[in-house]
């Protein structure tokens, strides 16, 4: 799917992480990518994160009941008349047509993309007033939903007590829009919002973006740094001089201690390597995407010679970092691959698009074929759904 017309530069300048924006059906030809029955089927599968949220009562005293998947197939026939919502996380990992929704938003770097959450609700269904700590594009798929937006929130904002939902204790709407199929609402981080279905068969696709916090980066990077340090690396002061007061921590000692920390933490290339691996780890790393039969290089060579493309696994995360003009670190699913020359060119190609055509120059490189073979056999890349001829 692609946009018919959208001012990307204007959006980034005036709205991205600044203020909400309603975008009225910018698609060239909007088609809802997933049927409600298909979404319900995903919610019943093992290994797929799903929640069924039922709202009982009314007004501020409403009760919120949350069930986690996998849900039994009979569950949907047992739902009562009160409002309810089905949420399925990472719908793009399991439905290629949902994954295609991300393509028009690639003006945001891939490393920032989280996933596409898909929701279905009956009349009155929603998840309550809340705020997110990341950017989100809310794409209306089917039916109509009323969105109300409130004030900016942060970690001090009062929440209602609930084990599974982050519901605002108080919500006052400042703006209100009704979204029809194909409409998009962009909500920056921290803005309170509340979406309520005003028709049955209401489907919404939430394209969310990751924004690591200071504490998350620091904690995880420190863990990685600690794993790399030897216990033999210790403080030393071979030029120690006598000081007037033995109770003083001298400025020279603080300088040496501080240098022990900063010299390690300020290694930019080591940080880039760590962050690429950390950030490219799949959302659900325990799911095995390896093919039933591993591919061999000669089979791959014949496949590529026919001009056929490779496909990235929507569940995999690809990114790269240029170290020098011909040297690149490729990050795929938490792994780092050092790439130079031909493989460096391949790394940038793999990260640029979901369907990759490998040209004759790269096909002739053994190092390119070896890297492709490895990525296919770990499930990050796949052939088109037909086998090459022998």
3-state secondary structure 66-127: EEECCCCHHHHHHCCCCCEEEEECCHHHHCHHHHHHHHHHCCCCHHHEEEEEEEEECCCCCC
Supply the pLDDT for residue 297.
94
List the chain residues with pLDDT less than 70: 57-62, 385-390
- Residue 148 vs residues 63, 131, 346: alpha-carbon distances, Å: 20, 12, 45
**The last residue of a domain, from among 151, 177, 209:** 209
- What is the pLDDT, as a whole number, of residue 388? 35
Q: Are 84 and 53 in contact (CB under 8 A)?
A: yes
Do the domain assignments include residue 233?
no
Question: Do residue 195 and residue 319 come from a single domain?
Answer: no
Structural domain count of the chain? 2
CATH at residue 362: 3.40.366.30
Please report the pLDDT score of residue 35 as a whole number.
96
Q: Who's near 207: CB < 8 A, 6+ residues apart?
A: 101, 102, 105, 113, 116, 136, 137, 139
185 and 302 share one domain: no
CB 338 within 8 A of CB 272: no
Residue 284 lies in a domain: no
- The residue out of 209, 225, 258 marking a domain boundary is 209
Q: Is residue 355 situated within a structural domain?
A: yes
Q: For residue 24, what are the domain limits?
A: 8-209
Distance CA(121)–CA(41), nearest Å, equals: 15
Quick check: is 239 in a domain? no
The domain that contains 30 carries what CATH number?
A: 2.60.120.650
Answer whether residue 363 is part of any domain. Answer: yes
Are residues 169 and 58 both part of a single domain? yes
| Any domain includes 215 | no
Residue 222 lies in a domain: no
If asked whether residues 316 and 196 sit together in one domain, one would say no
My answer on whether 197 and 346 are in the same domain is no
Asked if residue 260 is part of any domain, the answer here is: no
With beta carbons less than 8 A apart as the criterion, state whether 91 and 116 touch: yes
**Which residue among 159, 189, 209 closes a domain?**
209
């Amino acid at each position: 799917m692609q946009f018919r017309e959208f001012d990307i530069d204007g959006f980034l300048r005036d709205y991205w992480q600044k203020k909400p924006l309603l975008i009225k059906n910018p698609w060239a030809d909007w088609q809802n990518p997933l049927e409600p029955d298909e979404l319900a089927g995903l919610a019943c599968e093992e290994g797929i994160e799903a929640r069924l949220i039922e709202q009982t009562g009314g007004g501020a005293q409403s009760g919120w009941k949350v069930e986690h998947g996998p849900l039994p197939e009979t569950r949907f026939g047992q739902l009562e008349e009160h409002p309810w919502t089905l949420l399925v996380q990472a719908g793009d990992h399991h439905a290629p047509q949902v994954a295609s929704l991300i393509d028009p938003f690639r003006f945001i770097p891939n490393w920032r993309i989280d996933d596409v959450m898909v929701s279905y609700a009956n009349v009155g269904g929603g998840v309550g007033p809340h705020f997110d700590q990341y950017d989100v594009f809310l794409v209306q798929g089917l039916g109509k939903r009323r969105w109300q937006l409130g004030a900016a929130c942060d970690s001090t904002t009062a929440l209602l007590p609930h084990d599974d939902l982050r519901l605002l204790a108080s919500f006052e709407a400042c703006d209100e829009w009704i979204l029809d199929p194909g409409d998009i609402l962009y909500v920056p981080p921290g803005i309170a919002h509340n979406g309520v279905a005003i028709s049955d068969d209401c489907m919404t696709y939430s394209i969310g973006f990751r924004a690591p916090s200071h504490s998350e980066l620091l904690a995880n990077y420190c863990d990685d740094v600690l794993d790399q340090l030897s216990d033999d690396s210790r403080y030393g002061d071979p030029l120690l001089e006598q000081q007037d007061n033995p109770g003083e921590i001298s400025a020279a000692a603080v300088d040496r201690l501080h240098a022990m920390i900063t010299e390690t933490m300020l290694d930019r290339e080591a940080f880039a390597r760590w962050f690429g691996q950390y950030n490219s780890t799949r959302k659900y790393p325990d799911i095995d995407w390896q093919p039933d039969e591993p591919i061999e290089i000669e089979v791959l060579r014949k496949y590529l010679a026919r001009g056929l493309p490779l496909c990235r696994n929507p569940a995999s995360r690809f990114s790269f970092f240029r170290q020098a003009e011909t040297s690149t670190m490729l990050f795929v699913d938490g792994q780092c691959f050092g790439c130079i020359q031909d493989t460096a060119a391949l790394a940038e190609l793999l990260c640029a698009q979901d369907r990759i055509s490998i040209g004759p120059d790269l096909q002739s490189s053994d190092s390119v074929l070896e890297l492709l073979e490895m990525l296919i056999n770990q499930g990050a890349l796949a052939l088109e759904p037909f086998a090459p001829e022998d």
